[in-house]
């Protein structure tokens, strides 16, 4: 089985969030299960020279973008048994950031079209093209309208579209239809939705399978509360919708070997975790108290991650409980300002780093005791899985992938603390249960070890992807 895996992010080359983690690890996991997989990505200006040095130029082609023809250099990079194609066009991709430009619609129309155009050029005929999020959503649209009857390299390809976050759909005005996407007037209804052009809707319409990154999210997005307007079309196409929970790389996220930690540790020898906690307290100038639980958040500071709830009760919580609270992330001004103010007023209780430093994130997972993730919606969420691996017990809202990975420990089983409604006091109650639980040293050790022993490596999920791919090609 041959898979062409198309995405706009991939760690370690270029990433802005969880999509980059998944694209950086799922293809390897598929490879280990003997699937032939090649990944195709934009060659962003921000990709480091050390990776560019290892790329080989294969050839250049010209890619149609509506009425234009644009240069596309194809570079190859090999790593961990996976072949990566980086598509070069400096006009589109030599910029400081990945997204956020006036012509994103055109940049990713180019990329999606190029994913199909390179197939004969690199001599790889895939059985499946697996696409991710709106940036590659036009691949199935173009395949079904322009390439599927092309024969040869294009015969019998199935397309899968994976939704990592339904909030970002690639929504534009009508003007992109003719000048950017270049669909014929007969086909334009595929991408039209709600008076706009919507790339993600086009993919839902034209791909053979739509997947999303957890089973619970696959159900939630049929509901307007979660769907950002796409529930109507998803309900009509629900027969092709499937949820597969992501995994994380157990090589990258491994407290036994992680070089970013002050001290390494394992589930059988936790002494290093104590050092990590102490060092973390020193780093944030917090009192060195080994019996005070550290509650941590590592997250973009945006509303859907649940910061409205945190804003509502955190002060009350840290005042009445003997806890320390650490936040790492950046995002909306109002939350940054809120935490700056809080850290200023409670320097003995609050540690704050506004920004994102991956090394520090690992240190926080390792040094903290409790990991808070009260998302309003969470397609999958990777942080709770990393937290489990590092023995920081998650407190989560029961939504999306959080609901599928974290079970409440109230009944003596489970790996964390779960609350159901998006309500600040429900969250506070769950945090209180965690902090109370922490006082019972023996009970906490058992819970922490149970958390660490959970398996959210890619193994199981990669097999589910393979089963989905196989069912599409009738194997
Ligand atoms: C997005 C989602 C997150 C998910 C990630 C990888 O970033 O918001 O929940 O874990 O994609 O699929």
pLDDT digits (tens, 9 = 90+) for 172-195: 999 999 999 999 989 999 999 999
Please name the residue whose Cα sits nearest to atom 12 of ligand 1: 164
Nearest ligand 1 atom to the CA of 217 is: 9
Q: Quick check: helix, strand or coil at residue 102?
A: coil
pLDDT at 40: 98
Question: Is the Cβ atom of 318 under 6 angstroms away from ligand 1?
Answer: no
Residue 93 alpha carbon to ligand 1 centre in Å: 23
Beta strands in 66-127 (DSSP E): 68-79, 82-88
Residue with tokens 């959503």: 137
Q: Which residue has the higher pLDDT, 167 or 410?
A: 167
The CB-based long-range contact list for 356-360 (8 Å cut-off, 24+ gap) reads 356/328, 356/329, 356/330, 357/328, 358/260, 359/260, 360/328
Give the pTM.
0.95
Q: What is the mean pLDDT of the chain?
A: 97
Is any ligand 1 atom within 6 A of the Cβ of residue 403?
A: no
Distance 381 CA to ligand 1 centre (A): 5
> Per DSSP, what are the bridge partners of residue 72?
61
Q: What percent of the chain has pLDDT over 90?
A: 96
345 has a pLDDT exceeding 90: yes
Q: Does residue 368's CB lie within 6 angstroms of at least one atom of ligand 1?
A: no
Work out the average pLDDT over 117-129.
98
| Cβ pair 231, 263 in contact under 8 A | no
Taking the C-alpha atoms of residue 133 and residue 123, their distance in angstroms, rounded to an integer, is 25
Tokens read off for 332: 């909306």
pLDDT number for residue 136: 98
pLDDT single digits (tens) 423-471: 999 999 999 999 999 999 999 999 999 999 999 999 999 999 999 999 9
For the chain, the 3-state helix, strand and coil shares in percent, each to the nearest 5, are: 45, 20, 35
What's the pLDDT score for residue 356?
85
């Amino acid at each position: 089985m041959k898979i062409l895996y198309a995405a706009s992010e991939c760690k370690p080359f270029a990433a802005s969030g969880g999509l980059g983690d998944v694209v950086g690890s799922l293809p390897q996991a598929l490879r280990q299960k003997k699937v032939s997989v090649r990944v195709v990505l934009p060659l962003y200006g921000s990709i480091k020279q050390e990776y560019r040095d290892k790329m080989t130029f294969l050839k250049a082609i010209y890619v149609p973008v509506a009425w234009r023809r644009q240069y596309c250099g194809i570079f190859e990079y090999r790593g961990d048994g996976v072949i990566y194609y980086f598509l070069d066009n400096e006009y589109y991709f030599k910029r400081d950031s990945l997204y956020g430009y006036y012509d994103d619609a055109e940049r990713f129309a180019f990329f999606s079209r190029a994913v199909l155009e390179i197939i004969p050029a690199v001599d790889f005929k895939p059985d499946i093209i697996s696409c991710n999020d709106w940036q590659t959503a036009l691949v199935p649209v173009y395949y079904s309208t322009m390439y599927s009857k092309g024969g040869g390299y294009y015969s019998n390809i199935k397309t899968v579209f994976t939704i990592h976050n339904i909030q970002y759909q690639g929504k534009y005005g009508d003007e992109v239809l003719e000048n950017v996407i270049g669909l014929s007037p007969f086909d334009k209804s595929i991408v039209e939705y709600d008076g706009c052009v919507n790339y993600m809707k086009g993919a839902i319409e034209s791909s053979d399978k739509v997947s999303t990154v957890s089973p619970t999210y696959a159900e939630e997005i049929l509901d307007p509360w979660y769907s950002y307007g796409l529930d109507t079309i998803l309900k009509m196409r629900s027969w092709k919708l499937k949820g597969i929970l992501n995994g994380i790389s157990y090589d990258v996220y491994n407290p036994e070997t992680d070089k970013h930690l002050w001290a390494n540790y394992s589930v059988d020898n936790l002494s290093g975790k104590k050092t990590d906690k102490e060092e973390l307290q020193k780093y944030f100038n917090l009192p060195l108290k080994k019996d005070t639980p550290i509650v941590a958040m590592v997250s973009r500071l945006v509303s859907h991650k649940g910061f409205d709830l945190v804003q509502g009760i955190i002060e009350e919580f840290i005042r009445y409980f003997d806890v320390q609270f650490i936040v790492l992330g950046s995002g909306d001004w109002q939350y940054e300002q809120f935490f700056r103010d809080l850290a200023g007023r409670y320097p003995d209780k609050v540690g704050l780093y506004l920004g994102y430093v991956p090394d520090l994130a690992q240190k926080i997972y390792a040094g903290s005791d409790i990991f808070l993730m009260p998302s309003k919606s969470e397609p999958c969420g990777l942080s709770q899985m990393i937290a489990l691996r590092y023995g920081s017990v998650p407190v989560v809202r029961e939504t999306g992938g959080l609901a599928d990975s974290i079970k409440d420990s109230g009944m003596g089983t489970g790996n964390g603390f779960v609350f159901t409604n998006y309500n600040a006091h429900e969250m506070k109650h769950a945090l209180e249960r965690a902090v109370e639980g922490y006082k019972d040293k023996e009970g906490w050790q058992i819970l922490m070890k149970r958390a660490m022993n959970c398996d959210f490596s890619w193994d199981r999920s990669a097999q589910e992807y393979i089963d989905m791919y196989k069912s599409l090609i009738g194997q």
